[in-house]
Amino acid sequence: MQSQLVYKRLAQKLVDAELNREELVKLTAEYPELTVEDGYRIQNELVSLKLEQGHRIFAAKMGLTSQAKMKQMNVHEPIRGYIFDYMNIEDGILPINELIHPKVEAEIAFVLCEDLAGPGITEAHVLAATDYVVPALEIIDSRYAQFQFTLPDVIADNASSSRVFIGSTWRKPAELELDLVGVTLSINGELKDLGAGAAVLGHPAHSVAMLANMLAREGRMLHKGDLILSGGITGSHQLREGDVVSAKWGGLGSIEFVVR
């Protein structure tokens, strides 16, 4: 456990790195004893700094939700982070000159029509409290060189949150079997990845339930109207200037953007 001053200093370092497109050495190189709890303390400071700068929370997100990523990082629980208003892109253009080394992954997002307060929230509670599900392409952009980090580092770095494209097809959750919703992700017309909703912890609603239960440990909850990105159905894929990215979801439409 570090002092509040250290948490604040590390959060500021991450905020500055994002703004200046600067690649950092992971925080645990200087502080090898940082824990997951420390990571969330730094993330909480980072969120406070962004709010002080006038940004607003646009969505919550779950990360590291696939078995493959969890195994790779030797973790048993996904992580959470926040997407801010300035990260939401509506014009179909990803400005690469604002980013470090962005990657894209395809997800399903939830819009709640009721509060969800853990502990004990289940997939069924989430589905009953969901107004709509929508497709989303998340752009992750670690502030660490070569995406090299440990779990506390990536938690501190707001789960690599960077940008998001939200699709225009909004469906009631009962209209779809979310674990069976298929997704294809193509870059420059070449199929790069595909998957089904079940890649996210067996069912994307399970991921949202886990988020509600994780927040409950800090005395927090999800609220009516919240937008939540449930986690990557596909892997994440490196983007380069000029790329044209398109993704299609079964029953949830498509999203396309260009990297400029």
Which residues are at the interface with ligand 0L1 (CB under 6 A)? Answer: 63-64, 138, 140, 142, 147, 154, 159-160, 231-232, 236
| 78 touches Mg ion by CB under 5 A | no
Rounded least distance, CB 128 to ligand 0L1, Å = 25
Our CB check for ligand 0L1 shows the closer of 43 and 236 to be 236
| 232 touches Mg ion by CB under 5 A | yes
Rg (CA), the chain: 17
Residue the block writes with tokens 């250290």: 6
| 204 touches Mg ion by CB under 5 A | no
Q: What are the backbone angles phi and psi of residue 104, rounded to the nearest 5°?
A: -120, 145
Report the alpha-carbon distance of residue 88 to residue 81 in Å, rounded. Answer: 15
Measuring CA to CA, which residue among 242, 44, 210, 21 is closest to residue 118?
210
DSSP class of residue 88?
A: B
Our CB check for Mg ion shows the closer of 138 and 226 to be 138
User: Quick one: what does residue 160 bind among ligand 0L1, Mg ion, none, with the CB cut-off 5 to 8 Å set by partner type?
Assistant: ligand 0L1
Report the alpha-carbon distance of residue 30 to residue 47 in Å, rounded. Answer: 22
Order of strands, sheet of 253-259, starting from the edge strand that comes earlier in the sequence? 93-94, 253-259, 244-249, 182-187, 190-196
Q: Which residue's CB comes closest to ligand 0L1? A: 63
Give counts: helices (H), strands (E), the chain.
Answer: 7, 12
Our CB check for ligand 0L1 shows the closer of 28 and 236 to be 236
Write each residue from 129 to 158 as x if it is in contact with Mg ion (CB under 5 A), else as -, in one continuous string.
Answer: ---------x--------------------
Residues 41-70 that bind Mg ion (CB under 5 A): none
Assess contact for 2 and 30: CB atoms under 8 A: no
Rounded least distance, CB 160 to Mg ion, Å = 8
Q: What is the DSSP string of 99-126?
A: -SS-EEEEEEEEEESS-B--SS--HHHH
Our CB check for Mg ion shows the closer of 138 and 193 to be 138
Assess contact for 44 and 168: CB atoms under 8 A: no
Our CB check for ligand 0L1 shows the closer of 64 and 111 to be 64
Rounded least distance, CB 77 to ligand 0L1, Å = 13
Rounded least distance, CB 2 to ligand 0L1, Å = 22
User: Quick one: what does residue 109 bind among Mg ion, ligand 0L1, none, with the CB cut-off 5 to 8 Å set by partner type?
Assistant: none
Assess contact for 191 and 98: CB atoms under 8 A: no
Rounded least distance, CB 217 to ligand 0L1, Å = 19
Rounded least distance, CB 1 to Mg ion, Å = 28
- Give me the residues that bind Mg ion (CB under 5 A), please: 138, 232
